[in-house]
Structure 1
Amino acid sequence: MPIVGERARLYFPKENRGEPIVTGCIRKNGHTCKGTSDTTNRYFASEHGSEIAMLPGALNIKGGSKDPLSINFEDETGVTLTSLTGLKLNVGGEIIICILNMMNLNY
């Protein structure tokens, strides 16, 4: 959601009536922002530092704290979960892990 003062892209679902829907913010600093100068890289970010990066070979999700939780889905390396405070899985059924080569558990 854009904040006051930002430029926004609007969609009007009904031609002559109804409220418009904000579909995105219009970037004004694309030429100076290194991460967004390549149009094959897509980002959705908050003013707090949280970010979703949709890149040609990856989907990365990062929290906005000083030491953020992150989830990275990368074509070459697989899935990486990173948390400095812990990782908790809550499931209603089984957890199945299939491994082709080797698994290391460090605790």
Structure 2
Amino acid sequence: MSEPKQRIIESNGIHLNIAEQGEGPVALLANGWPESWYSWRHQLGALAAAGFHAVAPDMPGYGKSDAPEAIDKYTLFHLVGDMVGVLDALGAEKAVIVGHDWGAIVAWQAALLRQGLWRP
């Protein structure tokens, strides 16, 4: 199987680096801190093999993603918006969202605030 490919996308007014692999329904993976997409490297391949388009961004402030200076750009509301922006950039109407560590809190809030975007 191929390796994840990285690219920069625009999301919620900032630039995020994403690593992606596979085709099919989107599985969006939100990492914890101070980690990057790389913490999902094993899951990207497994999800791709299972028929998903697995996508793991470097969360804002980490890796190759923008690091907004204003502290209020890191609220849960903004971080959820960043994840929604990833879906917009991919042209995806729905996705599965998964998180670990701080990324789990982002995934939980995304599920609460934007219920129509996430697959059960």
Both structures adopt the same fold (TM-score exceeding 0.5): no
TM bracket (short chain): under 0.3
Question: Which has more radius of gyration?
Answer: 1
Name the structure where strand makes up a greater proportion of residues: 1
Compute the TM-score of the two structures, normalised by the length of structure 2: 0.24
Name the structure where helix makes up a greater proportion of residues: 2
Compute the TM-score of the two structures, normalised by the length of structure 1: 0.26
